[in-house]
Each structure stands twice: as structure tokens, then as C-alpha cells.
């Protein structure tokens, strides 16, 4: 059974993200198209990381009439206005994730199977605070990525070794 509180919280986050996106497009004199809002909605209902192709396929499977160019361009806008984060994990193509209203987290990337695991450690926030104070610097956001090999027995590449 779905958690109603988290569903309503997610809906609230989506509505706030939609308002931010609308204000951003108005400020930039960009058209507020149904396709752009549909892409935003799909992203904010998704879980985890995705690449452009995966998002495009999801949009097509939901019978949205969007081109790859629209998906690329809308993702660029969402990154610019701070609603989506773009990651470059190793040599793989760029991956994205929603970021408005979600807690800061960092990543573990398996160099064999390319799996990306998220983790949150409060000590990192303490380090961030200490760095801000020591260098009189206002950190707006950060990324931390650890690369290695997962110990998952189902790691696809490990089976081939």
C-alpha cells in the first residue's frame, strides 16, 4: 500500500518545482509548452538516475509526442534552473536526477557494472560547514563520487571475470 504522506509530499514538491520552472521560463521569455511540463512531471515521478534515452523512451511509452531534441533541450532548462542535476559518472553518458526538495546525497559508482548507489553521511555536512568557516566561503552545493567495484555477487561484469 502506498504511503499517502509521501505521495502528498511528492505532489507538493512537484507543484513547487512546476512553479519554479514556470517562473524560469517566464523570466527567459520561453514558451511554456505541455511537453516541457510533461517531461518535468515524468522526472519528478521517477526514482533514481536516468539518461536522456531512458527518459525519451518513458515519454514515448506514455504516448507523449516529444522529440529527442525536446527532451535534450528541456533537460538543459531544468538543469539551468536548478530542478535537475546532471552527473557524469566515469566514461558513461550523462545521467540526471531530480534535485529540488530532495536531501543532499553522494554516490558510489561501480566501475565494472556501472551501478550507482546513493548514500548520505552527516559527517560530510560537518566537513562542508568547517570548510565554509575556514575559507570564508558559501558553498551552494557539492558532489562527491567514489569509484570502485561493488561486492554484489550479481555484478554483471564480475561474472565474466
Please tell me the predicted confidence (pLDDT) of residue 157: 58
What would the pLDDT profile of 116-157 be if each residue is shown by its tens digit?
887 778 888 889 899 999 999 998 777 788 888 888 887 765
Same domain assignment for residues 90 and 113 = no
87 known ligand binder: no
Alpha-carbon distance values, 144 to 41, 90, 95, 112 (Å):
27, 13, 15, 19
Higher pLDDT, residue 78 or 1: 78
The CATH number of the domain holding residue 117 is: 3.30.1490.190
Please tell me the predicted confidence (pLDDT) of residue 122: 82
- The total number of structural domains in the chain stands at 2
Of 21-35, 65-79, 113-127, minimum mean pLDDT range = 113-127
Same domain assignment for residues 58 and 90 = yes
How many Å apart are CA 152 and CA 117, to the nearest integer? 12
Please tell me the predicted confidence (pLDDT) of residue 92: 67
Same domain assignment for residues 123 and 156 = yes
How many Å apart are CA 54 and CA 42, to the nearest integer? 11
150 known ligand binder: yes
* Chain Cα centroid distance, residue 122: 20
Same domain assignment for residues 8 and 47 = yes
List the domain range (segments joined by +) for residue 97: 1-102
- In degrees rounded to 5, what are phi and psi of residue 159? -60, -30
99 known ligand binder: no
Same domain assignment for residues 31 and 62 = yes
Same domain assignment for residues 33 and 23 = yes
110 known ligand binder: yes
Same domain assignment for residues 97 and 115 = no
Of 66-70, 89-93, 98-102, 104-108, minimum mean pLDDT range = 89-93
- pTM listed for this prediction: 0.71
Same domain assignment for residues 76 and 117 = no
Amino acid at each position: 500500500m502506498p504511503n499517502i504522506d509521501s505521495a502528498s509530499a511528492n505532489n507538493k514538491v512537484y507543484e513547487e518545482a512546476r512553479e519554479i520552472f514556470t517562473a524560469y521560463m517566464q523570466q527567459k521569455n520561453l514558451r511554456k509548452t505541455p511537453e516541457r511540463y510533461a517531461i518535468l512531471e515524468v522526472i519528478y515521478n521517477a526514482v533514481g538516475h536516468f539518461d536522456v534515452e531512458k527518459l525519451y523512451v518513458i515519454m514515448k511509452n506514455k504516448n507523449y509526442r516529444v522529440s529527442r531534441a525536446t527532451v535534450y533541450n528541456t533537460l538543459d532548462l531544468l538543469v539551468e534552473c536548478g530542478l535537475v542535476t546532471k552527473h557524469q559518472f566515469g566514461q558513461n553518458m550523462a545521467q540526471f536526477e531530480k534535485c529540488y526538495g530532495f536531501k543532499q546525497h553522494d554516490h558510489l559508482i561501480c566501475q565494472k557494472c556501472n551501478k550507482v548507489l546513493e548514500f548520505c553521511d552527516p559527517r560530510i555536512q560537518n566537513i562542508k560547514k568547517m570548510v565554509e568557516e575556514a575559507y570564508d566561503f558559501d558553498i551552494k552545493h557539492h558532489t562527491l563520487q567514489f569509484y570502485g567495484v561493488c561486492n554484489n555477487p550479481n555484478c554483471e561484469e564480475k561474472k565474466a571475470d
